[in-house]
Amino acid sequence: MSSAVAPAPWARPTAVQRVLQGFLALALPVLWLALAVRLVATPAFLWFEYHRPGFPADRWGMGTDERMAFGSYGLDYIMNLAPPSYLGGLVSPEGGMAFTPAEVSHMTDVQHVMQWGLLLAGVIAVLSAAAALHLHRRVPGTASAAWFAGSWLTVGLLVLAAVAGALGWESFFAGFHSLFFSSGTWTFSVTDTLIRLYPTQFWIDAAVTVAVLSLLGAFATMLLAARRARSLRSRT
């Protein structure tokens, strides 16, 4: 199948164009994962989780509507440039602070990671488009070959992540957080609002959804790349 996406016979990429191919292949997993994360970080996914059968209820009595309200505040906070007071000023149904200072601090860290991560993905997307356009004009078929390779790279990385998560979710979750957050800043009591709003099952479902969306994107890219290669061969 890999031969289906080989460059056209006349194409002889230069060293720089080979580098651009490598960049496209490496960028593809980042772009699909970033898009999948952005799609999951939406009110629609939050609503689905809180309303789907089997999602764990809050053992301290927080209802679905309350969860949706406070969960939406948390989601809005990490996806926008709101100040800490956006969360710190919320009042719980019991009359106290909805989020402790430690929780607000962690959500601020998450906000920074999300904002910078999506910005980086946007820059990579623009650079990928420029690289693909250059390759398309100068060496037809090489961009498709790079994306085909990037699709398999995406699948491989997701398989490794799935195996790691299946073998030990807690270790996988902790390892992931340690990449972005300082030790001790992202662990909370089961009575804290963040854990009540976003329990373990929420994160498992989110990870599975991100993986499935990324896989769909990777397979769609494979099909389009193969179709492009067949089109080029038919012209020779």
- What tens digit of pLDDT does each residue of 24-46 get? 999 999 999 999 999 999 999 99
Which residues are CB-contacts of 19 (< 8 A; sequence separation ≥ 6)? none
Q: Is the pLDDT of residue 89 over 80?
A: yes
Residues in the chain: 236
According to the model, what pLDDT value does residue 1 have?
Answer: 44
Whether 120 and 215 have beta carbons less than 8 Å apart is answered as: no
According to the model, what pLDDT value does residue 10 have?
Answer: 52
Q: What is the pTM for the complete model shown? A: 0.90
According to the model, what pLDDT value does residue 5 have?
Answer: 54
For residue 31, the surrounding DSSP H or E stretch is helix 15-40
According to the model, what pLDDT value does residue 229 have?
Answer: 76
Cα 68 to Cα 72, 93, 105: the distances in Å are 6, 13, 21
- What tens digit of pLDDT does each residue of 172-212 get? 999 999 999 999 999 999 999 999 999 999 999 999 999 99
Whether 114 and 79 have beta carbons less than 8 Å apart is answered as: yes
Angle at 218 between CA 208 and CA 146, to 5 degrees: 145
User: Could you state, in order of their start, the residue ranges of all structural domains in the chain?
Assistant: 15-52+62-234
Q: Is the pLDDT of residue 64 over 80?
A: yes
